[in-house]
Chain A
Amino acid sequence: MVTSECVIVGGGPAGLSAAKELLEAGARVTIIDRNERLGGQLIKQTHMFFGSEKQYASHRGIDILEYLVNDLAPYGDRLEIRTGTTVAAIYQDKVLGCLKDEKYFKIKAESVIIATGASEKALPFENNDLPGVYAAGAVQTLMNEYGIKPGQKVLMVGSGNIGLIVGYQLLQAGIEVKALVEAADRIGGYLVHASKIRRLGVPVLPKTSIKRAIGEDAVEAAEIWSLDENWQGIPGTEKKLDVDTICIAVGLSPLTELLQQTGVRVEYVRELGGNVPLLDEGYRTTVDKVYACGDVANIEEASSAMVEGRITGIHAARDLGHEVENAGFRIKALQHELYDLRGGPPGEKVRQGIKKREVLA
């Protein structure tokens, strides 16, 4: 059987950052990703990132992806990259069942880092299964990775950063955004992102939601309506929008299915996005040498996922017996970065969630 010191499942910002630390410490690493290319969702992030220089602020996500991949280049002999490969199962002895081109094979790992990220949530409304109702991040993939317009006229549902950013990126692709609706009474994401689309003529409508999609074989229109204080639609406020695409940006759920196969303890923490693993300060789960970091551990920005990945990588390397230079100092510095990234109002939710998780652990 193929063996590896550390298998990282998921080659996004968290996984790639963890890999770099492990390789630097001398470990043998395997990165597995079900996509054909590494980078996870960075591949479609055409906007400049926030944060500080330490997380490449003001660089575009697509460029950061290149930096992270290039960081691994010097360690080619100890690094195995398996893209287009789906991990279908993890057994308790850390044997991973993998699927590549219809062929099944197993890898035996000494330690496993799960960095599988998250999936976009759906929203219940009439005809929400019609073709043309897409997750916002999926539309971002279609546009920015494959260069395809999802449609010509879009309704965006949700004003978190994903809704706001994808709304802007739709405009950049030459697509009309008819409106952005938000069920809450205020914008969820950064105001700078909201102002950016508003000044380009996109109405941003709080206390408003989608009532239904209209169409036979695909979306032909959408109906929106105002919500009352109990988040219920107010009859008589319906407005029909001429759109062929409805983007759903109502949050993410951690992709913990694979992680849970290892038998780790998972608890529901709303502030972190749903069912999340219990972790110690080294991103160790409740199962020995199984780690989790990035969106699978808590829904957050990619900047934080990169920092978490690095901390996880350092701990995983040490747990495998590798020496990491200045480990204590470096971990402290990285923790400080996380503290900074989470320090303001946007980080409040995740701060609360992490506290809750610490109590549960």
Chain B
Amino acid sequence: MRIRKHPILSFPEKDSVPFYYNGKKLYGIEGDTIASALHANGVKKLSESINLKRPRGFYCAIGNCASCDMEVDGKTNVRTCITPLKAGMEVKTQRGKGRLHGN
């Protein structure tokens, strides 16, 4: 859920940015990261643990912990907490460890 009114900060209206999450069309806004746009849409589960398939979400927000890694436009292990959202992005829950890009 987005904050509309804040005593210190202002969050002006911004253009919406369409993207796909596991095939479903969602909207973020200009300036979002992939993870922030998903969170704004109520999506908290971003990845799965490799062996036990436990749900994993956002954790550090500085591109450090790998808890938010997802598959974006076919590329795996994308740190969604620091990757800017772009229109038309195909964002998917990553299965397994992912692969080197280009392979």
Contact A142 B39 (CB under 8 A): yes
> For the complex, is A32 an interface residue (Cβ under 8 Å from B)?
no
Encoded as 1 (CB less than 8 Å from any B CB) or 0, chain A from 231 to 269 comes to 000000000000000000000000100000000000000
Contact A130 B57 (CB under 8 A): yes
B3 contacts which of A122, A138, A148 (Cβ < 8 Å)? A148
- Which bucket holds chain B's interface residue count? 35 or more
A46 contacts which of B9, B32, B63, B64 (Cβ < 8 Å)? B9
> For the complex, is A34 an interface residue (Cβ under 8 Å from B)?
yes
Contact A148 B44 (CB under 8 A): no
> For the complex, is A281 an interface residue (Cβ under 8 Å from B)?
no
A138 contacts which of B5, B56, B62, B75 (Cβ < 8 Å)? B62
Supposing A129-B56, A132-B44, A134-B57 touch, asked if A149 and B3 sit within 8 A by C-beta, the answer is yes
Contact B7 A172 (CB under 8 A): yes
Encoded as 1 (CB less than 8 Å from any A CB) or 0, chain B from 51 to 82 comes to 00011111111111101000000010000011
Q: How far is A102 from B49 in the complex, measured between Cα atoms in Å?
A: 25
B9: A residues at CB distance < 8 A: 46, 62, 144, 147
A142: B residues at CB distance < 8 A: 36, 39, 58, 61
A36 contacts which of B57, B62, B82 (Cβ < 8 Å)? B82
> For the complex, is A3 an interface residue (Cβ under 8 Å from B)?
no
Interface residues of B in 79-103 (CB under 8 A from A): 81-82, 84, 101
> For the complex, is A218 an interface residue (Cβ under 8 Å from B)?
yes
Contact B8 A138 (CB under 8 A): no
Contact A148 B36 (CB under 8 A): yes
Q: How far is A41 from B1 in the complex, measured between Cα atoms in Å?
A: 22
Supposing A129-B49, A131-B44, A149-B3 touch, asked if A36 and B84 sit within 8 A by C-beta, the answer is yes
Nearest chain-A residue to B1 (Cβ)? A149
Nearest chain-B residue to A253 (Cβ)? B64
Contact A119 B6 (CB under 8 A): no
A positions within 8 Å CB-CB of B? 34-36, 41, 46, 60, 62, 84, 86, 102, 117, 119-120, 122, 129-135, 137-139, 141-144, 146-150, 152, 172-174, 217-218, 255
**5 pairs of A and B residues whose beta carbons are closest in the complex:** A131-B57, A138-B61, A147-B11, A146-B36, A131-B44
Provide 24 A-B residue pairs closer than 8 Å at the C-beta atoms, listed in order of the A residue. A34-B63, A35-B63, A36-B84, A60-B8, A84-B84, A122-B59, A130-B54, A131-B45, A131-B58, A132-B44, A133-B59, A138-B59, A138-B81, A139-B61, A142-B39, A143-B3, A146-B31, A148-B39, A148-B40, A149-B1, A172-B8, A173-B3, A217-B44, A255-B64
B positions within 8 Å CB-CB of A? 1-3, 5-9, 11, 31-33, 36, 39-40, 44-46, 49, 54-65, 67, 75, 81-82, 84, 101
**Given A86-B63, A174-B5, A218-B45; 16 other pairs, CB 8 A cutoff:** A102-B101, A119-B62, A129-B67, A130-B55, A131-B57, A133-B57, A138-B61, A138-B62, A143-B3, A146-B32, A146-B39, A149-B3, A174-B3, A218-B44, A218-B55, A255-B64
